[in-house]
Structure 1
Amino acid sequence: MRPIPVREEIDFQGHKIRSYHFQTNSNKPPILFFHATGYSALTYQTLFDEWIQAGYSVHSIDFLSHGESSKSDDFSNWWPFRNQVLALKQKLSQESSMPPVLVGHSLGGANSLLAAAKDSNVTGVVALDPVVLGPITSYLTLFVKTPLAKIATNRRTTFKSLDIVRRSYRKSPAFKNFNDQVFEDYLTSCFVKNSDDSYSLALPREIEAKLFQTLTPGHWWQYRKIKVPVFAYITQNSDVCPLRSAKRLASKNKHSIYKVHESGSHFFPMEDCSDRCFELY
């Protein structure tokens, strides 16, 4: 039987952040997981299932405006998302003194790194194709609207049924190689049912666009502060974390490493669910 999470809420700057808890009786460090933009914690439950079976407790959140969390565009950069990572860590520190492993994909990977730079009381960080652009590229985002922001602005958000979403999205390059269970978990956790029985994306498209556009330069100043082991796991020819960035992330601690997934897909965590990236720790 598939594990069922305990759902709780975290008060965060006047908003409600949904948290999910899969608890095991284990002496292994707990895993705190953070998702990518446009997805949800439970999109990754197939990964969680693997980790739970291996004896890890797994805890996660839906970032602000995602999944079951409150909707708000009250942010102008990514620091509030780093602070949500720290809020979950703080909540769990009251229950366990064991430093957790921070694991994150894309947006979640970048903010796991930023959180570790702020609070080093973690076992390590596993960053799955994190959004860690080079310093010059990050600076250019101040002046050029990112293509992903434009795509988000024009995204269709409401459908008559989930079956229509299922058929339409499976044809998209972004979703066509998703593990079947991951894809179903995405549908059930990232869409909400409306009063007329239609379905809408849980993340409003204008907030998604703002998230893509508010990546600001200056994060490298924070990444240089990281003292804990980092596993930078990027994909081949990554658009969001070039190889040079991964190497720099892995240069700050003798136990840090980087690895390149050969698929070339930013979505390899949703496609290759048997890859137990946490085993570094």
Structure 2
Amino acid sequence: MIPFEKYTNNGNTKCSFIHGNGFPPLTYKSLLTELSNTLDITSMLLRPHWNETSSPYKLKNWRLFVDDFIQHANEQKITNSIGIGHSIGGNIILKAAIKNDKIFKSIVLLDPTIFAPSIIYFWKILSLFPKALENFPLAKAARNRKTSYSSKEDIFISYRKKNIFKNIQNKQLNEYIDSIFEKSQSRYELNFSKVWEEHIFLKSVYDDMYIWRNLSKVKIPVLIIKPDSNPVFRLNAVKKISKNKNIKVVTLSDSSHLFPLEKHKETTDIISNFLP
């Protein structure tokens, strides 16, 4: 059975949430707590967070994760539900909606990792030169990630200094830290494989023409929320995806790719106003 976590408060509308790479579900505790007032949330874990998993070195593209989710949906009898995904999670949710039109009745993609065809073709050319890929910033950061600290305070001090977290409040930063570190004897250790994290970044684009070739199959309402600062979901992709009139794209001001952590209440409001 595909591992997953549950977030339930008073909500009864079934919802599947898929997290970002290196950001397990508890990272989004503030957001999921808000959403669980109206939604009954199930969050499948991506393979880096499984106790037992296959080798990341065999990963060819993200199709594996789409297949994992569809298996999870079958196991949990998920149909006619809400789908929400952040980053890679948004990519997986959209591909799953294309592949199986019975799972979702509407979906929300939070700055999804979806690139225009020109970027896809460029990436495939770049992949012919492995040394060039080794310097891809996100993969390099994952490869060099520090995995052990002497105390939680040391983790917080280190992460508080990182530019990527500058707009995240202390509470949400601590939620992120708690989601990825566990105490082991006298130290705090990263609780997932950074090798998996790296390889997910390296294989991020290879299967994405599937989206563009099948976009017309998307008949359900789709909301894409993107930040106004350095979005992953960029303008050329926005223009192309907006040709499908079922898809609406909105921009959240004063935010970055991590806006689900930075602005969880605003994100909840936008999602709630979109959902029936």
TM-score (norm 2): 0.85
- How many corresponding residue pairs? 258
- Cα-to-partner distance string for 1:148-171 (whole Å, 9 max, x where unaligned): 112211221211121110111011
Listed as ranges, the matches of 1:50-129 within 5 Å are: 50-53=34-37, 55-66=38-49, 69-72=51-54, 73=56, 74-93=58-77, 99-121=80-102, 122-129=104-111
The one-letter code of the counterpart of 1:270 is L
The one-letter code of the counterpart of 1:215 is S
The one-letter code of the counterpart of 2:109 is A
- Asked if the contact 2:7/2:33 (under 8 Å) is kept, the reply is no
Specify the alignment match of 1:147 in structure 2. 137
- Asked if the contact 2:229/2:254 (under 8 Å) is kept, the reply is no
- Cα-to-partner distance string for 1:228-250 (whole Å, 9 max, x where unaligned): 21111111254421023134334
Work out whether 1:211 is the aligned partner of 2:200: yes
SS class of match (2:47): coil
SS class of match (2:219): coil
The one-letter code of the counterpart of 1:113 is L
- Asked if the contact 2:82/2:105 (under 8 Å) is kept, the reply is yes
Which structure has greater helix proportion? 2
SS class of match (2:5): strand
- Cα-to-partner distance string for 1:78-127 (whole Å, 9 max, x where unaligned): 0111122223322332xx65x11110110111111111111112111111
Structure 2: unaligned runs, 5 residues or longer: 127-131
- Asked if the contact 2:255/2:263 (under 8 Å) is kept, the reply is no
SS class of match (1:174): helix
Specify the alignment match of 1:193 in structure 2. 183
CA distance in 1, matches of 2:11, 2:36: 10
Q: What's the CA shift for 1:261?
A: 1.5
CA distance in 2, matches of 1:86, 1:181: 33
TM-score (norm 1): 0.84
Specify the alignment match of 1:3 in structure 2. none
User: Percent of pairs identical after alignment?
Assistant: 26
Specify the alignment match of 2:211 in structure 1. 222
- Asked if the contact 1:106/1:131 (under 8 Å) is kept, the reply is yes
Listed as ranges, the matches of 1:124-273 within 5 Å are: 124-142=106-124, 143=126, 144-145=132-133, 146-194=136-184, 196-223=185-212, 224=215, 225-254=217-246, 256-273=247-264
- Asked if the contact 1:179/1:273 (under 8 Å) is kept, the reply is no
Q: What's the CA shift for 1:262?
A: 1.7
RMSD in angstroms over aligned alpha carbons?
Answer: 2.1
- Asked if the contact 1:129/1:238 (under 8 Å) is kept, the reply is no
The one-letter code of the counterpart of 2:97 is A
CA distance in 1, matches of 2:229, 2:11: 37
The one-letter code of the counterpart of 2:151 is S
Specify the alignment match of 2:129 in structure 1. none
The match for 1:42 among 26, 34, 38 is 26
Comparing 138-147 with 68-77, which one deviates more in the overlay? 68-77
The one-letter code of the counterpart of 1:259 is V
Work out whether 1:278 is the aligned partner of 2:271: yes
CA distance in 2, matches of 1:253, 1:220: 19
CA distance in 2, matches of 1:60, 1:233: 19
